[in-house]
Amino acid sequence: MHPEHPAARHAHHHAEPHDDIIYPAAIPFLLVHLACFGVLWTGVSAASITVAVVLYLVRMWGITAGFHRYFSHRSYKTSRLMQFVMAVIGQSSAQRGVIWWAAIHRHHHLHSDTEEDIHSPRHMGFFHSHVGWIFRPMRADADYSTTPDLTRFPELVWLDRFHLVPAIALGVGCFLLGGWEMLVVGFFCSTVVLYHCVFFINSMAHVVGSQRYLTGDDSRNNWWLALITLGEGWHNNHHHYQSATAQGWRWYEIDISYYVLKAMSWTGLVWDLRAPPERVLNNEQPVGKKVLEKVASQLAATVPVEGLAQELLERWSRSHVLDDLRDAARRTREEADARLEALTMPLLPSLEELEARAREMFNDSPSLEEIAQRAREMVLEALSAYLLDSGLETA
């Protein structure tokens, strides 16, 4: 493998794992923020503000329609030339390379709001999910093995390697256009605002808003985030069906990035925009296995297994039940689990009780009964393991 290939760089990086708080790749991010203080000397004009707003909108579209919906999720198709143009626009925002961005985002969806998630408010706190993860190499390191569809394009690999080139070129252009004021206000200030509005999707969109669909994570729909991010704020919709080009699925859910892509489809610049199936849109589609497992695990966690096991040990200590379970465990763990499930245990929530609890905890879904069934299985498995670990095998 060529040493400059993204996958090769990823493997080399992991040869010496570290997790410093500040590392070289984060220094440009800090410098862009510090540069904004230059506004105290340059001042602000209507022209520089206009350029800042235009650059914010264009580059936000490059991130949302390009980096996110195209490169990360492949929710529509375009030409190789247009693909390159969108990558350049996205990288002019100084948010690292297009392949890095897509790899990080695919990892997020694979592990959304679990301990493996790169930026989850649930496990790491709001500040870390918003910006703190950027300063930790073990969090900000991307797995390029997840992006073979992108690394096959040498021009994208080159852009990803020299990811600051488009941003530096844009900054130079702003300076040539209007001097230091245009550079500071038009480029640096708009870049910092763009940073944090995009980062709000990692942080705020997993904390504040409403959940229409059961996704197994904390993704939420937030109308004001949708406005400032050109449609990304319909985050629960997106996590429910990641392949859709549009993220606003109701007529009132404003999604400017999608409107632009739709207009581009009329000219042939993009095509095959993907829409959510009606069953998905109407919340009639059963959840996938991964979501079912995550949600069932959350439901099972509401049952105090350790306390229940201790109560059972006390009740069964002078009966034949423990001997039966011990004998079953000597054959197979599955047989012990089945024997335990057949027992009458008043302290264990029934399937109906678990389903009622699921309706209180989660969004409505056609899978709630299946989730309750799986949660009960998890509780029984955990209970069996606890009882056996407490000495049944050697009793």
Residue 1: inside a domain: no
pTM for this one?
A: 0.84
Tokens 């350790």 locate to 306
Q: Based on the fold, state whether residues 184 and 305 are members of the same structural domain.
A: no
Q: In angstroms, rounded to a whole number, what is the distance separating the alpha carbons of residues 224 and 29?
A: 26
Burial class of residue 212 in the structure, from the number of CB atoms within 10 Å of its CB (0-12 exposed, 13-18 middle, 19+ buried)? middle
Residues 194 and 317 in one domain: no
In a domain, 115, yes or no: yes
pLDDT per position as a tens digit, 5-61: 554 444 444 444 455 555 666 788 889 999 999 999 999 999 999 999 999 999 999
260-316 per-position pLDDT tens digit: 999 999 999 999 999 999 999 998 888 888 888 888 888 888 888 777 777 666 655
Do both 239 and 317 map to the same domain?
no
Task: Give residue-wise pLDDT tens across range 191-238.
Answer: 999 999 999 999 999 999 999 999 989 999 999 999 999 999 999 999
| Same domain (yes/no): 218, 297 | no
Tokens 């105290």 belong to which residue?
40
Say which residue, 83 or 112, is predicted with more confidence.
83
The reply to whether 62 and 185 lie within a common domain is yes
pLDDT grade for 258, boundaries at 50, 70 and 90? very high
**Confidence at residue 353, expressed as pLDDT on a 0 to 100 scale:** 83
Using the 3D structure, point to which of 253, 281, 309 is the last residue of a domain. 281
Residues 251 and 329 in one domain: no
Q: What is the mean pLDDT of residues 352-374?
A: 85
**The domain containing residue 295 runs over which residues?**
289-394
Please indicate, yes or no, if residue 125 is contained in any of the structural domains.
Answer: yes
Which phi and psi angles does 78 have, rounded to 5°?
Answer: -155, 175
**Residues 56 and 73 reside in one and the same domain:** yes
Q: How many CB atoms sit inside 10 A of residue 16's CB?
A: 7
Assess contact for 165 and 159: CB atoms under 8 A: yes
As for how many domains the chain has, the answer is: 2
Is pLDDT at 393 greater than 70 in this prediction? Answer: no
Residues 225 and 124 in one domain: yes
259, 281, 303 — which closes off a domain?
Answer: 281
Is pLDDT larger for residue 335 or for residue 94?
A: 94
Q: Please list, residue by residue across 249-274, b when 16 or more beta carbons sit within 10 angstroms of its beta carbon and e when fewer do.
A: beeebbbbbbebbeebbeeeebeebb
pLDDT of residue 352: 84
Q: What is the DSSP letter of 182?
A: I
- For residue 23, what pLDDT is reported? 60
Measured torsion, CA atoms of residues 364, 369, 370, 372, in degrees rounded to the nearest 10? 100
165-194, pLDDT tens digit by residue? 999 999 999 999 999 999 999 999 999 999
Q: Is the confidence at residue 119, as pLDDT, over 70?
A: yes
Residues 333 and 350 in one domain: yes
Interval 364-386: pLDDT, tens: 888 888 888 888 888 877 777 77
Instruction: Report pLDDT for 142.
Output: 82
Q: Is 369 within the bounds of a domain?
A: yes
Residue 90 lies in a domain: yes
Q: What are phi and psi of 352, to 5 degrees?
A: -65, -40
Tell me the two tokens of residue 272. Answer: 């095959």
Query: 365, 287 in Cβ contact below 8 A?
Result: yes
Rg (C-alpha) for the chain, rounded Å, is 26
Task: Check whether residue 66 and residue 123 sit in a common domain.
Answer: yes
Among 281, 304, 329, the domain boundary falls at 281
Token pair 């190499």 is at which residue?
Answer: 137
Residue 258 lies in a domain: yes
Residue 311 lies in a domain: yes
Residue 182 within a domain: yes
Tell me which H or E stretch contains 271: strand 270-271
Secondary-structure percent of the chain, ordered helix, strand, coil, rounded to 5: 65, 0, 30
71 in the same domain as 16: yes
Q: Are residues 313 and 261 part of one domain?
A: no
